[in-house]
Amino acid sequence: MEETIEAGISLSGTEVKSIRGGNVSLKDSYATIREGEMFVLGMHVSPYEQGNIFNKDPLRERKLLLHKNEIRKMHASVMQQGYSLIPLDLHWSGSNVKMNLGLCRGKKLYDKRESAAQRDAARNMDRVLKEQRR
């Protein structure tokens, strides 16, 4: 992760209530920039149970609230090869929901191999320790 930035997020009332209840998932979500505006895609906000007709689509794209110069700076960084904007977490700032975004670089093939080798080594050590305890 190269840099982080805090952004506001545009939500409907039932989405805020659902997030307050902890019914949100950032798994497989990412941010994109279109026409000078930033959006988060793939963020799943479960429908609010008492929301009936006011519930929105759980996977709809949501607008992120940033100043234009911050969006331009992030856009210039994302245009570099291998960079992505990844939502890190959601938190409350007073009564507003904020999202921390990370400017992240993807792994190279040799990094992925190294991570897989470390994971395999840790798994083998755990297996040996478990057999020794028996």
Is residue 85 domain-resident? yes
8 A C-beta contact, residue 65 and residue 7: yes
**What's residue 40's pLDDT?**
96
Is residue 114 domain-resident? no
Is residue 87 domain-resident? yes
8 A C-beta contact, residue 30 and residue 39: no
**What's residue 7's pLDDT?**
95
In terms of residue numbers, what domain contains 26?
Answer: 3-106
**What's residue 86's pLDDT?**
93
Amino acid type, 127: R
**What's residue 44's pLDDT?**
95
**What's residue 2's pLDDT?**
84
Is residue 102 domain-resident? yes
| C-alpha–C-alpha distance, residues 59 and 57, integer Å | 6
In this structure, what CATH number is given to the domain that contains residue 91? 2.40.280.10
Chunked mean pLDDT (size 10), the chain, 134 residues: 91 91 92 94 91 85 95 90 89 93 82 88 93 85
Number of separate domains in the chain: 1
**What's residue 8's pLDDT?**
95
| C-alpha–C-alpha distance, residues 39 and 114, integer Å | 33
Is residue 9 domain-resident? yes
Closest CA to 62 of 42, 36, 39: 39
8 A C-beta contact, residue 28 and residue 84: no
